[in-house]
Protein backbone atom coordinates (compact mmCIF):
# COMPACT_ATOMS: atom_id res chain seq x y z
CA UNK A 1 0.00 0.00 0.00
CA UNK A 2 2.83 2.37 0.86
CA UNK A 3 4.55 1.70 -2.44
CA UNK A 4 1.33 2.26 -4.33
CA UNK A 5 0.71 5.60 -2.61
CA UNK A 6 4.29 6.65 -3.27
CA UNK A 7 3.94 5.86 -6.99
CA UNK A 8 0.72 7.83 -7.22
CA UNK A 9 2.33 10.71 -5.39
CA UNK A 10 5.30 10.74 -7.81
CA UNK A 11 2.94 10.78 -10.78
CA UNK A 12 1.07 13.70 -9.27
CA UNK A 13 4.34 15.57 -8.81
CA UNK A 14 5.49 14.85 -12.39
CA UNK A 15 2.24 15.92 -14.02
CA UNK A 16 2.63 19.70 -13.40
CA UNK A 17 6.18 19.56 -14.80
CA UNK A 18 4.95 17.83 -17.95
CA UNK A 19 2.14 20.35 -18.42
CA UNK A 20 4.58 23.23 -17.86
CA UNK A 21 7.02 21.84 -20.44
CA UNK A 22 4.28 21.53 -23.07
CA UNK A 23 3.05 25.06 -22.28
CA UNK A 24 6.55 26.48 -22.66
CA UNK A 25 7.00 24.71 -26.00
CA UNK A 26 3.67 25.99 -27.28
CA UNK A 27 4.47 29.54 -26.19
CA UNK A 28 7.91 29.32 -27.79
CA UNK A 29 6.30 28.21 -31.05
CA UNK A 30 3.87 31.13 -30.99
CA UNK A 31 6.67 33.61 -30.25
CA UNK A 32 8.77 32.14 -33.07
CA UNK A 33 5.94 32.39 -35.59
CA UNK A 34 5.12 35.98 -34.60
CA UNK A 35 8.79 37.00 -34.70
CA UNK A 36 9.36 35.24 -38.03
CA UNK A 37 6.29 36.94 -39.49
CA UNK A 38 7.46 40.36 -38.33
CA UNK A 39 10.98 39.73 -39.64
CA UNK A 40 9.59 38.65 -43.01
CA UNK A 41 7.47 41.80 -43.18
CA UNK A 42 10.51 43.96 -42.38
CA UNK A 43 12.75 42.22 -44.89
CA UNK A 44 10.15 42.31 -47.68
CA UNK A 45 9.04 45.92 -47.11
CA UNK A 46 10.44 48.43 -49.62
CA UNK A 47 13.24 50.65 -48.30
CA UNK A 48 12.63 54.15 -49.59
CA UNK A 49 15.25 56.52 -50.92
CA UNK A 50 15.36 60.03 -49.40
CA UNK A 51 14.34 61.33 -52.84
CA UNK A 52 12.24 58.94 -55.00
CA UNK A 53 13.48 58.21 -58.50
CA UNK A 54 10.28 59.66 -60.00
CA UNK A 55 11.74 63.07 -59.07
CA UNK A 56 14.60 62.57 -61.55
CA UNK A 57 14.62 65.53 -63.98
CA UNK A 58 12.45 65.28 -67.07
CA UNK A 59 14.65 67.68 -69.05
CA UNK A 60 18.43 67.19 -69.17
CA UNK A 61 20.80 68.94 -71.58
CA UNK A 62 18.37 68.88 -74.50
CA UNK A 63 16.77 65.54 -73.61
CA UNK A 64 13.05 65.49 -72.75
CA UNK A 65 11.70 62.49 -70.86
CA UNK A 66 8.42 60.65 -70.65
CA UNK A 67 7.64 57.94 -68.09
CA UNK A 68 7.05 54.52 -69.61
CA UNK A 69 4.87 52.01 -67.73
CA UNK A 70 6.05 48.47 -66.99
CA UNK A 71 3.83 45.45 -66.54
CA UNK A 72 2.96 44.12 -63.10
CA UNK A 73 4.82 40.93 -64.00
CA UNK A 74 8.04 42.79 -64.77
CA UNK A 75 7.72 44.86 -61.60
CA UNK A 76 7.11 41.75 -59.49
CA UNK A 77 10.00 39.81 -60.99
CA UNK A 78 12.41 42.75 -60.64
CA UNK A 79 11.48 43.06 -56.93
CA UNK A 80 13.12 46.49 -56.52
CA UNK A 81 12.60 49.13 -53.83
CA UNK A 82 12.29 51.89 -56.44
CA UNK A 83 12.74 52.22 -60.19
CA UNK A 84 12.61 54.65 -63.08
CA UNK A 85 11.69 53.71 -66.65
CA UNK A 86 11.70 56.71 -68.93
CA UNK A 87 12.05 57.42 -72.65
CA UNK A 88 14.23 60.46 -73.41
CA UNK A 89 14.23 62.20 -76.80
CA UNK A 90 16.60 64.88 -78.06
CA UNK A 91 14.60 66.72 -80.71
CA UNK A 92 17.63 68.64 -81.94
CA UNK A 93 19.49 65.47 -82.92
CA UNK A 94 16.52 63.07 -83.30
CA UNK A 95 18.20 60.69 -80.85
CA UNK A 96 16.24 58.65 -78.33
CA UNK A 97 17.24 56.47 -75.39
CA UNK A 98 15.28 54.49 -72.85
CA UNK A 99 16.67 54.96 -69.33
CA UNK A 100 15.91 52.29 -66.75
CA UNK A 101 17.24 52.70 -63.20
CA UNK A 102 16.46 50.08 -60.55
CA UNK A 103 17.34 50.47 -56.86
CA UNK A 104 17.46 47.76 -54.20
CA UNK A 105 18.59 48.04 -50.57
CA UNK A 106 18.75 44.22 -50.63
CA UNK A 107 21.62 43.99 -53.14
CA UNK A 108 21.53 40.24 -53.72
CA UNK A 109 18.01 40.51 -55.16
CA UNK A 110 19.60 42.34 -58.10
CA UNK A 111 21.75 39.35 -59.03
CA UNK A 112 20.54 37.66 -62.18
CA UNK A 113 18.67 40.71 -63.47
CA UNK A 114 21.30 41.30 -66.16
CA UNK A 115 20.43 42.41 -69.70
CA UNK A 116 21.77 39.07 -70.98
CA UNK A 117 19.06 37.36 -68.93
CA UNK A 118 16.13 39.78 -69.03
CA UNK A 119 16.30 40.69 -72.72
CA UNK A 120 16.63 37.07 -73.75
CA UNK A 121 13.59 36.27 -71.60
CA UNK A 122 11.78 38.97 -73.57
CA UNK A 123 12.47 37.29 -76.89
CA UNK A 124 15.71 39.02 -77.88
CA UNK A 125 18.76 37.12 -79.12
CA UNK A 126 22.02 38.06 -77.41
CA UNK A 127 24.76 38.84 -79.94
CA UNK A 128 27.63 40.17 -77.82
CA UNK A 129 28.74 41.88 -74.61
CA UNK A 130 31.89 43.94 -74.28
CA UNK A 131 33.50 45.92 -71.48
CA UNK A 132 33.81 49.62 -72.15
CA UNK A 133 33.76 53.01 -70.43
CA UNK A 134 32.59 56.57 -70.97
CA UNK A 135 33.41 60.02 -69.59
CA UNK A 136 30.56 61.70 -67.72
CA UNK A 137 29.78 65.41 -67.85
CA UNK A 138 31.61 65.77 -64.51
CA UNK A 139 34.71 64.16 -66.08
CA UNK A 140 34.29 60.83 -64.30
CA UNK A 141 35.52 57.73 -66.08
CA UNK A 142 32.70 55.22 -65.65
CA UNK A 143 33.10 51.52 -66.49
CA UNK A 144 30.20 49.90 -68.31
CA UNK A 145 29.08 46.93 -70.37
CA UNK A 146 27.71 47.31 -73.89
CA UNK A 147 25.28 44.56 -74.93
CA UNK A 148 23.90 43.94 -78.42
CA UNK A 149 20.66 42.08 -79.19
CA UNK A 150 18.43 41.42 -82.16
CA UNK A 151 14.96 40.01 -82.77
CA UNK A 152 14.58 37.10 -85.22
CA UNK A 153 12.69 37.47 -88.50
CA UNK A 154 10.29 38.85 -89.39
CA UNK A 155 10.94 41.67 -86.86
CA UNK A 156 14.71 41.90 -87.38
CA UNK A 157 14.89 44.64 -84.73
CA UNK A 158 18.23 45.54 -83.13
CA UNK A 159 19.01 47.17 -79.81
CA UNK A 160 22.13 48.24 -77.92
CA UNK A 161 22.17 48.40 -74.11
CA UNK A 162 24.71 50.27 -71.98
CA UNK A 163 24.72 48.82 -68.46
CA UNK A 164 26.48 49.71 -65.20
CA UNK A 165 25.86 49.59 -61.44
CA UNK A 166 26.17 51.95 -58.50
CA UNK A 167 27.11 50.14 -55.27
CA UNK A 168 27.16 52.27 -52.12
CA UNK A 169 28.12 55.35 -54.12
CA UNK A 170 30.63 53.64 -56.39
CA UNK A 171 30.32 53.05 -60.15
CA UNK A 172 31.10 49.53 -61.34
CA UNK A 173 30.42 47.12 -64.18
CA UNK A 174 31.06 44.07 -61.97
CA UNK A 175 28.17 42.14 -60.38
CA UNK A 176 30.72 40.32 -58.25
CA UNK A 177 31.08 43.46 -56.16
CA UNK A 178 27.73 42.71 -54.46
CA UNK A 179 27.59 38.94 -54.90
CA UNK A 180 29.67 37.90 -51.88
CA UNK A 181 28.51 36.38 -48.60
CA UNK A 182 28.61 39.78 -46.89
CA UNK A 183 25.55 40.84 -48.92
CA UNK A 184 23.41 37.85 -47.94
CA UNK A 185 22.27 39.22 -44.57
CA UNK A 186 18.91 41.00 -44.74
CA UNK A 187 18.81 44.77 -44.41
CA UNK A 188 16.88 44.64 -41.13
CA UNK A 189 17.84 48.20 -40.20
CA UNK A 190 16.24 49.49 -43.41
CA UNK A 191 19.41 51.38 -44.31
CA UNK A 192 19.02 52.97 -47.78
CA UNK A 193 22.82 53.47 -47.94
CA UNK A 194 23.42 49.70 -48.24
CA UNK A 195 22.31 49.28 -51.80
CA UNK A 196 22.88 48.54 -55.45
CA UNK A 197 21.41 50.49 -58.33
CA UNK A 198 21.35 49.09 -61.84
CA UNK A 199 21.36 51.44 -64.82
CA UNK A 200 20.38 50.31 -68.32
CA UNK A 201 20.32 52.79 -71.20
CA UNK A 202 19.06 51.34 -74.49
CA UNK A 203 18.50 52.50 -78.06
CA UNK A 204 19.04 51.39 -81.65
CA UNK A 205 22.29 53.38 -81.97
CA UNK A 206 25.34 53.10 -79.72
CA UNK A 207 26.01 56.83 -80.08
CA UNK A 208 22.59 57.57 -78.55
CA UNK A 209 23.15 55.48 -75.44
CA UNK A 210 26.65 56.84 -74.92
CA UNK A 211 25.48 60.45 -75.25
CA UNK A 212 22.62 59.84 -72.81
CA UNK A 213 24.97 58.10 -70.35
CA UNK A 214 27.44 60.98 -70.52
CA UNK A 215 24.69 63.54 -69.90
CA UNK A 216 22.80 61.64 -67.15
CA UNK A 217 25.18 59.43 -65.16
CA UNK A 218 26.21 62.13 -62.66
CA UNK A 219 22.58 63.14 -62.06
CA UNK A 220 21.63 59.50 -61.51
CA UNK A 221 24.41 59.17 -58.94
CA UNK A 222 23.05 62.22 -57.09
CA UNK A 223 19.87 60.29 -56.21
CA UNK A 224 21.77 57.62 -54.23
CA UNK A 225 23.65 57.83 -50.92
CA UNK A 226 27.39 58.39 -51.25
CA UNK A 227 30.03 56.92 -48.93
CA UNK A 228 29.00 59.48 -46.29
CA UNK A 229 25.28 58.60 -46.66
CA UNK A 230 24.64 61.98 -48.30
CA UNK A 231 22.12 62.25 -51.15
CA UNK A 232 22.95 65.31 -53.24
CA UNK A 233 19.55 65.31 -54.98
CA UNK A 234 17.91 66.42 -51.73
CA UNK A 235 19.61 69.81 -52.12
CA UNK A 236 18.27 70.81 -55.53
CA UNK A 237 14.93 69.01 -55.16
CA UNK A 238 14.26 70.95 -51.94
CA UNK A 239 15.49 74.16 -53.58
CA UNK A 240 13.12 73.63 -56.51
CA UNK A 241 10.24 72.98 -54.09
CA UNK A 242 10.95 76.23 -52.23
CA UNK A 243 10.98 78.18 -55.50
CA UNK A 244 7.60 76.75 -56.48
CA UNK A 245 6.18 77.77 -53.09
* Degrees, nearest 5: CA angle 26-29-34: 130
Distances (CA, A) of 60 to 57, 101, 202, 216: 7, 16, 17, 7
Burial of 20 (0-12, 13-18, 19+ CB in 10 A): exposed
Residues 62 and 38 placed together within one structural domain of the fold: no
> What is the domain extent for residue 153?
53-244
Residues 199 and 220 placed together within one structural domain of the fold: yes
For the chain, give the DSSP string: -HHHHHHHHHHHHHHHHHHHHHHHHHHHHHHHHHHHHHHHHHHHS----SS-GGGS-SEETTEEEEE----HHHHHHH--SEEEEEEEEETTTTEEEEEEEEEESSGGGGTT--HHHHHHHTTPEEEEEEEEEEE-TT--EEEEEEEEEEPPTTT--EEEEEEEEEETTEEES-GGGG-SGGG-S--TT--TTS-EEEEEEEESSHHHHHHHHHHHHHHHHHTS--TTS--THHHHHHHHHHHH-
Q: How far apart are CA 68 and CA 49, in angstroms?
A: 21
Q: How far apart are CA 174 and CA 164, in angstroms?
A: 8
Of the candidates 55, 219, 228, 58, the one whose C-alpha atom is nearest the C-alpha of residue 142 is 219
Residues 227 and 170 placed together within one structural domain of the fold: yes
Q: How far apart are CA 7 and CA 29, in angstroms?
A: 33
Residues 113 and 155 placed together within one structural domain of the fold: yes
Q: What pLDDT score was predicted for residue 43?
A: 45
Return per-residue pLDDT of the chain as tens, 245 residues: 444 444 444 554 445 566 666 666 666 555 445 443 443 434 454 578 899 999 999 999 999 999 999 888 777 777 789 999 999 999 999 999 999 999 988 766 676 778 999 899 889 999 999 999 999 999 999 999 999 999 999 988 999 999 999 998 999 999 888 776 655 555 545 565 678 999 999 999 999 999 999 999 999 999 999 888 889 999 876 655 443 34
Q: How far apart are CA 83 and CA 85, in angstroms?
A: 7
Contact 167, 125 (CB under 8 A): no
Residues 99 and 71 placed together within one structural domain of the fold: yes
Residues 147 and 100 placed together within one structural domain of the fold: yes
Residues 126 and 8 placed together within one structural domain of the fold: no
Residues 29 and 59 placed together within one structural domain of the fold: no
Residues 115 and 233 placed together within one structural domain of the fold: yes
Residues 156 and 193 placed together within one structural domain of the fold: yes
Per the structure, how many domains does the chain have?
2
Of the candidates 104, 79, 102, 110, the one whose C-alpha atom is nearest the C-alpha of residue 194 is 104
Amino acid sequence: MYLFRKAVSNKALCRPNWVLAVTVLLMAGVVYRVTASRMRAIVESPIALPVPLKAFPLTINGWTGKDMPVTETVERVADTDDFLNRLYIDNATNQWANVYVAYSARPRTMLGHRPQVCYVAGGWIHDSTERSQFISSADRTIPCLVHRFHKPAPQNDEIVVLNFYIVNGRFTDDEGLFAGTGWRTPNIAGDPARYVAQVQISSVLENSIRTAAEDMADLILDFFPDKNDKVRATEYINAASNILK
